Structure 1
Amino acid sequence: MRSLFALLLLALSFSSCTSTTESTGIDAVLSFYGGKVVYSSGVVASTADELQGRFYELKLSGVAPKMKQYFASLQLPASNCAYLFYHALSPEEKTRYSFIRITIAETASNDTYEFPIQDLAKAERAMLQADNLLNYMRTGDYAHVVAKGSLLATSAQEWQKAKSLFTAIDKEYGRVQAFSLQGFAISHQNLAKSGTMEFVRLAGVLVREKQSTDFTFALLPTTTLQGNYLYGFVFSKRENQ
């Protein structure tokens, strides 16, 4: 039996007072998925093997059937909900919480997912990298895209081969216009040259002129925009490749 030192959970109705940025984050989730949101905040401090500290919870209802049409697991859309909320917070608020909890009601078990603030910060940095790549992808400048490819992932020759793939898909489905994030995951891989590498998978959709395509970036969030931060990519929308 775990020993609970402190547990504070303050349930709030949706009409209760929140900060402007918190309200913006909640509105972003509602705009993306629809349904209803009930939010709460609290503090967990225990000896159990679970995330500790101050948290913010969003409990979504009326969205599970829609999510299950596109995702076998709700982990990915739940991560997107957490990211949409986190991204709207002020810098001070981003340091106020230890994790964001997302509960999706109307499932057999009321699925609950928790996302550490550190992981959300990594996803946000990775989105800056993805936005930088999109500047080139919108104009079909894939030479600059593959130039950001990390040599820890594959050789320069292999990165150069990717240009023809991007160009062929543009020709069939139309030029890239935007990237719609559907969720993220933190991944680790043990490399012979550098040991264990941590990267962020951003799974989503490339919005195109003719027909949108699923796409996932694998990015190294600790690398600057001037460096080689592209670890990989795949034309699908999955948490694990």
Structure 2
Amino acid sequence: MPNLSFVKRVPGLLYGVVVGLLLGAAGFAGTLDSANFQWYYFLVQVLALGIGILHLWLSPRFVPAVFAAFGMGLLGTLLVLLLGMAFTLILYQQMGFLANRWPFVTSLLPFLIPFLVVQAYRYYRDIPPANYRKWYYPVNGDMPDVDLLDLSKILVIQFEFLKTPSDPNFTNFKAKAPVAMALGDLFLVFINDYNERTPASPIHFADPSGRPFGWVFTKKSAWWQRRVYLDPALDFNQNNLVDNATIVAMRAE
């Protein structure tokens, strides 16, 4: 009686061999006239990309268990690619081209691209929406009581913001922040103080109908770093802000 586990693997093995042979057939172009070698290389890249798209469509149908998870799917795709490269190198050896044509197998690398692009899109789609708290200017509310704050510990921070929703350029302005003061309260004091100082070019905190904009705050960082959202209800210590930090204030729907 045949081994059941081996029987279950047969479709996957056959699938890998067939797709590997397709890649090997595309790699046959490496044995053609060397005068058009660059064109053949480009053509095989396009063919490998097409086979990669076909692989992306067929693999869940023939070997769904292997390609259900990213790790196994990537491993399976790499093994198929390596198999195709192996078939190509064997072909070159049999035809006497191995010594000078072996680099041509790198033209099969675009086979990986469709799988990686689709997986990247799936991960992007699965990113949960940012969970951040918005701050609204208290049009009819009270000002924070600064007299009750401990002013012995002060940070110098910078706010970066657009004065109006249509402003093309950010404005950067320094402010002194008591570490025990809530970020939203400081921004409220900052808006009022700034608008008193520059009445000709104020910060718009409400739309034309008088409805206040929602604001979100992020800590400015290098472009390759993940955006860090700040909680306007927390103070500067709780938001892990330090001296000379730059806080980007953005209007949000």
TM-score by length of 2: 0.22
Greater helix share, 1 or 2?
2
TM-score by length of 1: 0.23
Determine which structure has more spread, i.e. the larger CA radius of gyration.
Answer: 2
RCO greater where, 1 or 2, for CA within 8 Å and sep 6 or more? 2
